[in-house]
Amino acid sequence: MSASAESRQMTVAEVRARKGAAPLVCLTAYTTPMAEAVDAACDVVLVGDSVGMVLHGLPSTLGVTMEMMLMHGRAVARGLSHALMVVDMPFGSYEESPEQAFRNAARLMAETGCGAVKLEGGAAMAGTIRFLTARGIPVMAHVGLTPQGVMGFGGYKVQGRGADGARVLADAEAVAEAGAFAVVLEKVPAALADRITDAVPIPTIGIGASAGCDGQILVVDDMLGVFTGFRPKFVKRYAELGDAARAAVETYAEEVRSRRFPGPEHVFADETGGGA
């Protein structure tokens, strides 16, 4: 994650300064090639704990470990030279106490080179956010639908409808006051997201929220259409790579079975034949 005069890494301060300015472009990445693909276009790249579901086939993010986040964080770091890298703190790595959170956040930063960590939770996590930021660890917060708390929510449901909006607003205000430099708003009504964006002094990053947020984030595999069967309402497909990949594999299989692959251009002559 080296910086140069031509390509310099985004900083936490620069992200925070984008409040009310040009919208922040954010995507997830879990591998070096994907990090390289999204780096130039993004302001923030999140190594999300969604990696457990996207790459490891887990039913939720609850089974993601520190070791998984460290491994994928190091991989993504090798592919970035522009975007700020933020790494998710996995379930069970920060909720016990601020001290536990500091130990694990410090390890993530030291071993991946990330510029910040992200943790889920609103007012209940404000003390932990304050503890971390006072010790030099930048924190991106996450309120609304928090996937690590999906069991308590009873599923991946919209949060903040009706009277419940006051809770989500209070959560966003609490994490901002505690020192978070940005806050993800997930799966909340658009009007509430706009209200929160106006109310807090830090950038809001929407996912299933509102175009009025200070930035947007999507899981890169979702927006690229890698999974043809999974299409949340808030995801726009910018490609259909899953269909393209399946078609390519079918063509390959047919050519292998018909002995059309490998062709003469894909094989090597022996030395006496003068080939490569």
Which residues are known binding-site members? 49-50, 88, 118, 120
Residue from 6, 67, 111, 186 carrying the catalytic annotation:
186
Is position 95 annotated as part of the catalytic site? no
Q: Which residues are annotated as a binding site for 3-methyl-2-oxobutanoate?
A: 49-50, 88, 118
Residues 259-268: contacts with CB under 8 Å, at least 24 apart = none
Q: Which residues are annotated as a binding site for Mg(2+)?
A: 49, 88, 120
Which amino acids are annotated catalytic? 186
